[in-house]
Structure formats: structure tokens, C-alpha cells
Amino acid sequence: MDHQDWKIFSQIRAKDDDSLPAVLTRRQVIGLLRHIRLRRYRIPVKLIYCCGLRVSECLALTIHDIDSKGGKLWIRKSKNNKDRMIPISQTMVSDLRRYWKVHKHPLLLFPTAARGACPSEKVAERMHEAIRPMPVSSLQKIIAAARKELNIPVCTPHTLRHSFATHLVEAGASLHTLQALLGHADIDTTMVYLHVTHRSEEDSRALVETLCQELPR
């Protein structure tokens, strides 16, 4: 029988080996944030990294989602329509508070600034009156431009989420802690970051606090 008649092998598909997603070093994260000079872009990019958010989760945040005293951030109606509560550093809370005072939108943390160049006062006014958050494409374009100028091989908003997860694992966060922070329904999804050791919620908050230190403000 000719090998061409062995059609059963055409129905077999081997699963590709899992590999770690692209991850930035801490130095690259700092360099990226320093390179993004406009605060209305730098602050959400910083928040994505410091809390491990999906870009859509970040831009949908409202002023009611921050528990500054408790050091908590509510992520509402995210993937699979689930809510979760994650720690946020006081440094990041202070950054968000100062940024919000620029536009003082009655609800949104990251309102769209619309298109067109104009004085910063006018931009703040347009943001205050915005009816929708900043589009995801705005952050994608800013990061893509910065990546090219800094000669970083791969970097998207999701790369910052991967970097957050990897850096926490390197600092000692457990797999289950990471699963809760990232909002993964299946722990197999989190397995890509590897299991190191168990840490308490208090320890994980300290890790998140440390993660935000030395970042550009």
C-alpha cells in the first residue's frame, strides 16, 4: 500500500507546545512609560501594568470603581460578564486622583479627548463633557509608536498585562493568587506563568505595591 493512501494521518493534529507570551523587563516598562509624555495616555498604560488589566477593563473604569481606603479596584462586567476585585497601590490611586482632577469627568476615569489639536485647557474641557471612554485603538497606537522608537520587538497593551503577571510570579506570587488577579476562569490559562509558591492576600498587595515603585509619574 502506498503511503499516500494512509489518509488517517491527515486527520491527526498535534497540539503546538505552549510558550510564554512576550514580556517586557522592568527596565523596558519604565522606559516605555517615560517615553509616553502625554499623561492621558501614560496613566492608563501604567494602570494596565500595575494591575494586570485588559485594555478594555482599564478604559471602562469609573470613579466608583476605586476603593482608595481599602486599596481595591473593582473590575465590573469583564470577560464572561464577571466582576472581580483586585488590589491597587496607593501610588497608583494618587496618580489617578491627580489625573482625574485635570478633566473632572462626573463618571469616567479615562474619557475620550476626541480628535484635533488644541490647547490643554480645551482638551480638558472636551474630556469633561465626553460621553464615552477613550477608544482602545488610541492606546494601541501610542504603544505601537513607542515600541518602534524604543526598538522593543513586541509590545501591545496586552504585553503589559503579561509583564505584570510574569513579574509577580518572579516576585513569589502563587498561581492561584495570579488567577484571581487576572480574572482567569480556568487555572490552566494561568499555568503559562508557572506556579512558584503560595502567598497571602496581604503579601500579594505588598507585591503590587512594590511593582508600582520607581515608575514614572
Tell me, yes or no, if 184 is annotated catalytic.
yes
Q: Is 77 exposed, middle or buried (0-12, 13-18, 19+ CB in 10 A)?
A: exposed
Q: Which of 54, 105, 147, 162 is catalytic?
A: 54
Q: Which of 42, 103, 184, 199 is catalytic?
A: 184
Tell me, yes or no, if 99 is annotated catalytic.
no
Tell me, yes or no, if 79 is annotated catalytic.
yes
Report the C-alpha gap between 41 and 27 in whole angstroms. Answer: 19
Helix or strand or coil: residue 141?
helix
Report the C-alpha gap between 215 and 26 in whole angstroms. Answer: 9
Q: Which of 40, 105, 147, 161 is catalytic?
A: 161
- Give yes or no for a contact between 199 and 177, defined as CB atoms under 8 angstroms apart: yes
Tell me, yes or no, if 158 is annotated catalytic.
yes
Tell me, yes or no, if 49 is annotated catalytic.
no
Q: Which of 158, 195, 205, 217 is catalytic?
A: 158
Q: Which of 26, 79, 126, 217 is catalytic?
A: 79
Tell me, yes or no, if 162 is annotated catalytic.
no
Report the C-alpha gap between 205 and 5 in whole angstroms. Answer: 60
Residues that are catalytic: 54, 79, 158, 161, 184, 193
